[in-house]
Structure 1
Amino acid sequence: MEKQYSINNFVTLSANGKVAINSEEQQANLYRWFKEAGFGQSELNGKIVFFKIVNNVVVPSSIIAMRYEFLHFLESYDFREWPEGVTRLDLIEWFYDTRPPKRNELLRDFLYRELSKTEQEQYLTYSGRHHRLVINPDELPSCA
């Protein structure tokens, strides 16, 4: 059974078409949703990285990827407690007028976790930074 969400968990919608994230609780619910969607944050080689778990594999991700997955959620989910007089278009227009999620301590509190060695390997493999190809010029075939 699909989890039920109230639109009020994430944003405040008012009958005049105004949409806003008005509380830290709504912001926390957004970050909790990111975590449920498989997103995470960790540190790798001294840098903060964002990832997503896809089919039990850790792959590189970003704040922007989180933002657009949330957009898809807003566009397609059948929310409970939708107020009368507000359209989904009002919600989508609000989304495009907002900035990406804040990289703050609250985000870190919800998303941060240490990656296991296997997960680090997966992340590095999918980011293309795992193996550097070392070529000895003497071993290259001749072009002559």
Structure 2
Amino acid sequence: MFNKRFVKPQRQVLHQASPYVGHFNDLAYVSNIDVLVTQKSLPNMSAKLTFDQPRRCFKVEGQLSAAEQAVIQQQVQHLSVIAANAQIANQIRRLKAGQRIQLQGDIVHVHSVKSGQAFWVGVGSAYAAQCVLLRITHIQKIAA
């Protein structure tokens, strides 16, 4: 299960791109697609998970019980994604909230070629350990 958001970074570590570009460039997708993934449907909670755009990580709005906090730590992952090719990029753009998917890829570290500045996700977030930059090499929808 997942949710997806296109984001606009506050600073330009890598070039910005719209959700659709005229031709494929894998780095165009570093800075603008975030995916929130859960291993299974989360139980009903009084708090809400939302995207924290400046930190490129999710945040919790409201209060969580200790049990709910444990579920989030075990089952939720925030991915800022790089598509490995144009086909993967098109699949990512077409995903809908609540779909079941299987992802394969590599956690990566990206630096600007010009400045050497790192592209970090999750900095300053209480959930930074659950926020990664992922280069997706395979994506598949799973039947419900």
Q: Normalising TM by the smaller chain, what interval?
A: under 0.3
Higher share of residues assigned strand: 2
Per residue, is there more helix in 1 or in 2? 1
Larger radius of gyration: 1
- TM-score of the superposition, structure 2-length normalised? 0.27
Provide TM-score, normalisation by structure 1.
0.27
